[in-house]
């Protein structure tokens, strides 16, 4: 009789390109999103939650990494339909705007927050699942809507703790780029593939530099891992026109706009784009958003293919240290633009729209890197268990603490070894432990242990220095909550 093969155990590993989020990560993200949502709400935007799954037809084909399977999305077939996890929060909004167009106000102003998924090649800091935080206006053709989004983005960054001077919002217009491409001989349906490669190449300027972008404009580029990315196949003269556009930024917005006007001479769409940039700059100046916060920058194009007009990107300008100890600018944490054709895919009628998406994980990383968020998590107060028969009394204690708004829990592991309970409290970063055995219950007291102070005494101080500040002491049972509150306030 043949032996049945033993079923191998599954590997306990996070899938490649994904990550797990634990307590402090989740709570810090929630706190930051709450602040951003307050700004969005102040500007008159309403919340919207859409399904994580959309039809592939509804999502369209707009991802920058088109060489990946399923056009860069995680997709599967169900009956006759292909479904996919959403790759951003904008494509689902376009579907909602079309589906509920008779019920929604116009313009419709919404914000949304949640995870998105992209079937792209993972790498350092590049994940297949990540959080986004969006705000969009659907149904407003005026570039005043674009200017408002830029102003709101600046307010969001300052609200979460990015100081003025540590960020800049860069604004461009895809119409200007389209005009440049027209001048370079890249207009027309037969040049769509080349235009897509050019857009993605320019969008990588901050990462690859001019040399890397020029390679992608030409025959292609091989990265450090040996992977080859096919280029747009432009001639040197065509590449020079595109590079000239990328380097058109001057010392002032007016000078930059003047240079862009020169580059798009002869292109009606390019001239219209320059005029829109001038109007956005004037509107922002009128609201008090000057070049210390928002500037015109031709190097911004955004990689997604559905943008039709103004595009913008928020960049953090302070330096951080990379994994090799080298200083570098933190870079982009948000971006967006106008996409007047996205809803049209559903309705057949042009519906103007513009919006921004904040990269939640990157913005959180920036706040941590600059000490604007204290990443040290504070755990719950631990009510230890000295006598199993008194579990109801311990639960009464923890209920009193919780009713007073104090995060707390009863130790629910094996209480036999008291040392293990304190080790558990240490692992949870608990600030205080409550201790009560039979003697304490008989006397109507509890022992309160200040775990933060105790750690300081053990690490840094002599007994003489701390003799007037014991880390553990007895208090009457009815004073337990007040004493714990006083300790927590002192630690804070």
Give me the domains of the chain, ranges plus CATH numbers: 23-182+266-369 (3.30.930.10), 381-491 (3.40.50.800)
pLDDT digits (tens, 9 = 90+) for 118-132: 988 887 778 899 999
- Quick one: average pLDDT of 418-438? 94
The CA-CA-CA angle for residues 223, 227, 230, to 5°, reads 90
pLDDT, greater one: 181 or 387:
387
Q: How many whole angstroms separate alpha carbon 324 and alpha carbon 329? A: 14
What is the percent of the chain where pLDDT is above 70?
92
Tokens of 78: 């169900």
82-121 confidence digits (pLDDT tens)? 899 999 999 999 999 999 999 999 999 999 999 999 988 8
Mean pLDDT of 326-352: 87
How far apart, in whole angstroms, are the C-alpha atoms of residue 350 and residue 341?
A: 6
pLDDT at residue 43 is higher than 80? yes
Q: Is 313's pLDDT higher than 70? A: yes
Per-residue confidence band for 69, with pLDDT thresholds at 50, 70 and 90: very low
Sign of CA dihedral 143, 144, 145, 146: positive
Q: What integer is the mean pLDDT of 276-286? A: 93
The whole-number average pLDDT for the span 362-367 is 89
Question: What is the model's pLDDT at position 2?
Answer: 58
Q: What average pLDDT does range 205-214 have in this prediction? A: 83
DSSP structure class, residue 484:
H
Choice among 56-65, 113-122, 130-139 with the minimum mean pLDDT: 56-65
Question: pTM of the full predicted structure?
Answer: 0.80
pLDDT digits (tens, 9 = 90+) for 438-466: 999 999 999 999 999 887 776 665 555 54
pLDDT at 68: 46
Give the C-alpha distances (Å, rounded to integers) separating 437 from 389, 391, 418, 481.
10, 11, 11, 18
Query: Which spans in 6-113 are helix H?
Result: 23-42, 56-59, 90-99
Whole-angstrom CA distances from 224 to 128, 156, 328 are 21, 36, 19
Say if residue 328 is exposed, middle or buried (CB neighbours under 10 Å; 0-12, 13-18, 19+): exposed
pLDDT of residue 322: 62
How many whole angstroms separate alpha carbon 484 and alpha carbon 462?
Answer: 25
């Amino acid at each position: 009789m043949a032996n049945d093969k033993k079923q191998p155990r599954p590997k306990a590993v996070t899938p490649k390109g994904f990550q797990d989020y634990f307590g402090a990560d989740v709570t810090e993200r929630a706190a930051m999103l709450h602040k951003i949502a307050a700004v969005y709400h102040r500007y008159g935007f309403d919340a919207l939650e859409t399904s994580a799954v959309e039809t592939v037809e509804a999502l369209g084909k707009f991802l920058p990494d088109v060489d990946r399977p399923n056009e860069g999305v995680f997709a599967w077939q169900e009956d006759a339909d292909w479904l996919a996890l959403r790759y951003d929060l904008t494509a689902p909004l376009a579907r909602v705007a079309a589906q509920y167009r008779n019920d929604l106000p116009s313009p419709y102003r919404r914000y949304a927050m949640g995870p998105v998924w992209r079937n792209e090649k993972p790498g350092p800091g590049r994940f297949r699942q990540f959080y986004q935080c969006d705000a969009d206006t659907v149904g407003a053709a005026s570039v005043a809507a674009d200017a408002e989004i830029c102003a709101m983005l600046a307010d969001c960054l300052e609200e979460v703790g990015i100081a003025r001077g540590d960020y800049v919002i860069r604004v461009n217009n895809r119409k200007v780029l389209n005009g440049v491409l027209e001048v370079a001989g890249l207009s027309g349906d037969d040049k769509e593939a080349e235009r897509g490669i050019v857009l993605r190449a320019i969008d990588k300027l901050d990462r690859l530099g001019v040399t890397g972008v020029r390679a992608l404009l030409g025959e292609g580029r091989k990265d450090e891992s040996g992977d080859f990315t096919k280029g747009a196949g432009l001639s040197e003269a065509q590449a020079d026109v595109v590079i000239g556009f990328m380097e058109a930024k001057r010392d002032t917005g007016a000078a930059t706009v003047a240079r862009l006007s020169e580059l798009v001479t002869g292109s009606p769409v390019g001239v219209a784009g320059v005029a829109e940039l001038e109007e956005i700059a004037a509107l922002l100046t009128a609201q008090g958003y000057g070049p210390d916060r928002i500037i015109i920058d031709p190097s911004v194009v955004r990689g997604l293919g559905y943008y039709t007009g103004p595009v913008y990107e928020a960049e953090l300008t302070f330096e951080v240290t990379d994994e090799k100890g080298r200083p570098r600018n933190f870079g982009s944490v948000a971006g967006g633009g106008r996409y007047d054709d996205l809803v049209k895919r559903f309705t057949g009628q042009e519906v103007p729209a513009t919006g921004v998406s904040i990269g939640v994980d990157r913005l959180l990383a920036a706040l941590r890197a600059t000490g604007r968020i204290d990443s040290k998590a504070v755990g719950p107060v631990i009510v230890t268990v000295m006598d199993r028969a008194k579990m109801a009394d311990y639960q009464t204690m923890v209920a009193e603490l919780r009713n007073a708004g104090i995060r707390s829990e009863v130790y629910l592991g094996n209480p036999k070894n008291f040392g293990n309970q304190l080790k558990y409290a240490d692992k949870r970063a608990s600030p205080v432990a409550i201790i009560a055995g039979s003697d304490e219950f008989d006397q109507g007291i509890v022992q309160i242990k200040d775990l933060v102070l105790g750690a300081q005494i053990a690490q840094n101080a002599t007994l003489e220095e701390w003799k007037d500040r014991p880390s553990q002491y007895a208090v009457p049972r009815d004073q337990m909550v007040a004493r714990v509150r006083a300790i927590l306030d002192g630690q804070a």
